[in-house]
Copies of this chain bind each other. A is one copy, B any other.
Amino acid sequence: MANIQQVAQKAGVSVATVSRVLNHATSVSPKTRLKVENAIRELNYEPSMLGRNLRNSESRLLLVLLPSISNPFYTEVINGIQNTAIANSYNILLCETDSNPQRENIYFNMIKNKLADGVISMDPTVNMQKLNELAESHPVILCSEYEEGGSIPYVTIDSELAAYQAVKHLIKLGNKKIALINSDEKFLYSRQRRSGYERALQEFDLPIRDEWIYHTKDLEFQNGVQAMRMLLELEEKPTAIFAVSDTLAIGALKGINGSGLHVPNDLAIVGFDNISFSNMTNPTLTTVSQPMYKMGVTAANMLIMSIKGEQVESIVLDHDLIIRESTMG
Could you tell me which A residues sit within 8 Å of B by CB distance? Answer: 1, 46-51, 53-54, 68-70, 72, 74-76, 78, 82, 86, 91, 93-96, 98, 103, 106, 109-110, 112-115, 137, 220-221, 250-251, 253-254, 257, 276-277, 279-282
List B contacts of A93 (CB < 8 A).
Answer: 93-95
Q: How far is the CA of A253 from the CA of B78 in the complex (A)?
A: 28
**Shortest 4 CB-CB distances between A and B: which pairs?**
A94-B94, A49-B113, A70-B75, A50-B54
Q: How far is the CA of A72 from the CA of B96 in the complex (A)?
A: 15
Contact B113 A48 (CB under 8 A): yes
CB <8 Å contact, B254 and A49:
no
Instruction: Give the chain B neighbours of A106 by CB distance below 8 A.
Output: 91
Residues of the B chain whose Cβ atoms lie less than 8 Å from the Cβ of A251: 280
The answer for the CA separation of A137 and B46 in the assembled complex, in Å, is 14
Q: Whole-angstrom distance between the alpha carbons of A68 and B83 in the complex?
A: 13
In Å, the complex CA distance between A110 and B51 comes to 12
Q: Provide 12 A-B residue pairs closer than 8 Å at the C-beta atoms, listed in order of the A residue.
A: A46-B112, A48-B54, A49-B113, A50-B115, A54-B54, A68-B75, A69-B78, A70-B276, A78-B96, A82-B96, A93-B95, A277-B280
Residues of B within 8 A of A96 (CB): 78, 82, 94
Q: For the complex, give the distance between the alpha carbons of A49 and B114 in Å.
A: 8
Residues of B close to A69: CB separation below 8 A: 69, 74-75, 78, 94
**Inter-chain contacts of A114 with B (CB < 8 A):** 48, 50
Contacts of A75 in B (CB 8 A): 68-70
* Centre residue among A53, A220, A279 by max chain B CB count within 10 A: A53
For A258, give the chain B residue with the smallest CB separation.
B282
Determine whether the beta carbon of B94 is less than 8 Å from that of A221. Answer: no
Chain B residues in 8 Å Cβ range of A276: 70, 220-221
Q: Which B residues are in CB contact (< 8 Å) with A113? A: 46-50
Residues of the B chain whose Cβ atoms lie less than 8 Å from the Cβ of A137: 1
Indicate which residue in B78, B91, B112, B277 contacts A277 across the interface (CB closer than 8 Å): B277
On whether the beta carbons of A221 and B280 are closer than 8 Å, the reply is yes
Complex Cα distance A147/B251, Å?
38
